[in-house]
Structure 1
Amino acid sequence: MTKLSVNVNKIATLRNSRGGNTPNLLQVAKDIQSFGGEGITIHPRPDERHIRYQDAYDLKPVVYTEYNIEGNPVPKFVDLVLAVKPTQVTLVPDAEDAITSNAGWDTKKHKSFLQEVISEFKQNGIRTSIFIDPVKDMIEGAAETNADRIELYTEEFASEYTKGNEKAIIPYSDSAQLAIDLGLGVNAGHDLSLDNIKFFRDNISGLLEVSIGHALISESIYLGLENVVNMYLHRLK
């Protein structure tokens, strides 16, 4: 079964826009889990424009499902993850000024670096995942880093699916199967939504987890958070 991990970055963005603590990030995380959400994801960035580093610590005792921290493994991020010890760390190669993630790792070029970082996380009992494009060489490179999982970067699928191109799923289904054959678990995320999540899940073998934030929170403005969480769960199961 595919787990739903809800990215709460957008809740932090809304909170930060006015200062104070409304909406309450910790309460929202509690509510998402009580509604059936199977994980909480955060992606702190160096400028802390949405999730603050302190949020990562504050969420630790609140998240009783799976806790996933995403980010570029710069020293400050590595120190944070080692201190918090989430269930999973997802390594994302985004630039400091990136609005959102826009590419997966070149696992061949950065093999040694990824091996070193992943080894440190795994020694501390933290499951590791690499954000990656659906490219055969990059999947093979990910296996050589000793990561536990990959997270397929799904923006291109989502864009093409909106245009009616269902064949856009093929590189993802092929990549997922290759990853499984190489002993890697498969996660996915970026621009997945209520419109495309069932089709994606139905066509990806062994999909363990999806991380969804922007679409889920946006849909919740119209449909309600509890309702939307359960709509995702229904499509994933």
Structure 2
Amino acid sequence: MTKLSVNINKIATLRNARGGNVPDLLKVATDIQKFGGEGITIHPRPDERHIRYQDARDLKSIVYTEYNIEGNPQHNFVDLVLECKPDQVTLVPDAIGAITSSAGWDTIQYQDYLSEMIQEFQRNGIRTSIFVDPVLEMIEGAKKTGTDRIELYTESFAHQYSLGNEKGITPYVEAAVLANELGLGINAGHDLSLDNIQFFKQNIPGLLEVSIGHALISEALYLGLDNVVNMYLRKLK
């Protein structure tokens, strides 16, 4: 079974664009779970341009499925995660000011740094996942950090699939096979959508969780949030 975790950053972006509390982030998180969503993901950034640090704190009492906080493990982020104690923390090497994540970790160059961060989170009972490209050396490096899971960065797959190139999934299959052999759990995310999620799911062995935000919220504008959440669930199962 592959879990669907819904990234609600875009809901916060819409709220912040107008000020006030419309749409209500906490109500949306509650509704997504009521509709069948199996997790809530947020990715707070230092400038708080969408998810605010207080949102992360407030969501702790709202999320009863699986709570996943993504971000670069810099000082304030680490403190926030240790305060909120989500079910999972996903470490992402995004630069300050980045519009969105654009690459996975170099797990060889940053092995010591990642190991230190991962141990701190695990000591506090938080499952860890690190964002990686589908490169075998990076998967092997991830294993050496001690992480519980990896999250495959799927932008390249999504782009190739949109061009009709189904072979774009090959490095992801190879990465997943190796991750399974190494005992790493497998998550995935970035540009996954209703168009490509079923093909991805069917070809990735041991896929535990997908985190989907931008596409899902965009599709919900036309199809409705309840409907879209359940369309993903059907494709994943």
* TM-superposed deviation, 1:153: 0.1
- In structure 2, the partner of 1:151 is 151
Give secondary structure in 2 for the equivalent of 1:94. Answer: coil
- AA aligned opposite 2:92: V
RMSD over aligned CA atoms reads 0.3
What amino acid is the match of 2:157? F
Q: What's the counterpart of residue 137 of structure 1? A: 137
TM-score (norm 1): 1.00
Deviation at 1:142, TM superposition (A): 0.1
**Secondary structure of the equivalent of 1:41?**
strand
Taking the aligned partners of 1:236 and 1:183, their CA distance within structure 2 comes to 22
Matching residue of 2:191 = 191
User: What's the secondary structure of 2:5's corresponding residue?
Assistant: strand
Task: Write the distance in 2 (CA, Å) between the matches of 1:150 and 1:177.
Answer: 13
Paired with 1:184 and 1:225, the residues of 2 have a C-alpha distance of 32
Q: Write the distance in 1 (CA, Å) between the matches of 2:83 and 2:183.
A: 28
Secondary structure (helix, strand or coil) at the match of 2:188 reads strand
Count of residues paired in the alignment: 237
CA deviation profile, 1:76-110 (whole Å, cap 9, x unmatched):
00000000000000000000010000000000000
Amino acid at match of 2:132: I
Q: CA deviation at 1:133?
A: 0.1
Aligned to 1:103: 103
1:227 maps to what in 2?
227
Percent of aligned pairs with the same amino acid: 75
Distance 2:32 2:92 in 1: 24
Q: Secondary structure at the match of 1:130?
A: strand
Partner of 1:22: 22
Question: What secondary structure does 2:128 align onto?
Answer: strand
Which structure 1 residue ranges, 4+ long, deviate > 4 Å from structure 2?
none
- Equivalent positions of 1:1-237 (< 5 A) are 1-237=1-237
Structure 1 gaps, min length 5: none
Distance, in Å, in 1 between the alignment partners of 2:176 and 2:20 is: 42
- Tell me how far apart the structure 2 counterparts of residues 85 and 180 of structure 1 sit (CA, whole Å): 27
Please give the secondary structure, in 2, of the residue aligned with 1:170: helix
State the secondary structure of the residue aligned to 2:107.
coil
CA distance in 2, matches of 1:222, 1:233: 18
What amino acid is aligned across from residue 187 of structure 1 in structure 2? N
1: CA distance between counterparts of 2:158 and 2:121?
31
Q: TM-score, normalised by structure 2?
A: 1.00
* Mapped partners of 1:105, 1:11: distance in 2: 27
Per-residue CA deviation, residues 31-54 of structure 1 (Å, 9 max, x unaligned), is 000000000000000000000000
For 1:89 and 1:111, locate their aligned partners in 2 and report how far apart those are by CA, in whole Å.
17
CA deviation vs aligned residue, 1:166-213 (integer Å, no higher than 9, x gap): 000110011011011011000000000000000000000000000000
